[in-house]
Amino acid sequence: MPRVETKTEVVSSNSESLVRVNSADEVLGSLDKTACHDSPGVLHRAFSIFVLNKTGDLLIQQRHPTKRLWPGYWSNSCCSHPRAGEEMEVAIERRLEQELGLFADLQFAFKFEYRKSFEDKGTEHELCWVYVGLTKSSPVINTTEISEWRWIDPDKLDAELTERPENFTPWLKIEWQQLRKEKKI
């Protein structure tokens, strides 16, 4: 892993209020993060960001071991939730800066719904908005969220997902397949 500047700001809380939605992405209200992720999971709005550098490599991160769901798994550049009352554009910029210290020109790619349980720890049931963007900056990694990170060539990520799919979050696998199918990366 390259040497990089880090920060340790706590940017997430289990009590933060998330946006509950239905399958049509209509807002139904809000609920705290813990309750949204308790099994069987309450459908809520989320986002995933895929950041590329000028050479076309993708930034991926290994989730911090203290994460409730999929700790230590490799995932996309950044993923989180808009807070109740927060516009998606504000949320994606906020979280990209908080986790990675990055600013990127992000473009909406697609959204989809999924549900996946992690052991007996909880369930993700999300309507996830997916974004792709380019940065010219170096990341400033928030070590309260991320334990490792790396830039990876998209073809090498394809190979790793085939050889060791158990190392990656379920949403990354779904999103990556769709992005590659649509030739967005």
Catalytic (active site) residue 126: yes
Angle between helices 154-163 and 170-181 (to 10 degrees): 130
Q: Look at residues 99, 36, 37 and name the one whose alpha carbon lies nearest to residue 64.
A: 99
Active-site residue identified among 36, 78, 79, 128: 79
Q: Residue 185's closest CA among 53, 96, 27, 32?
A: 53
The one catalytic residue in 36, 78, 124, 126 is: 126
Residue partners of 61: CB distance under 8 A and separation at least 6? 74, 75, 76, 77, 78, 99, 100, 141, 145, 146, 148, 149
Enumerate the active-site residues.
79, 126
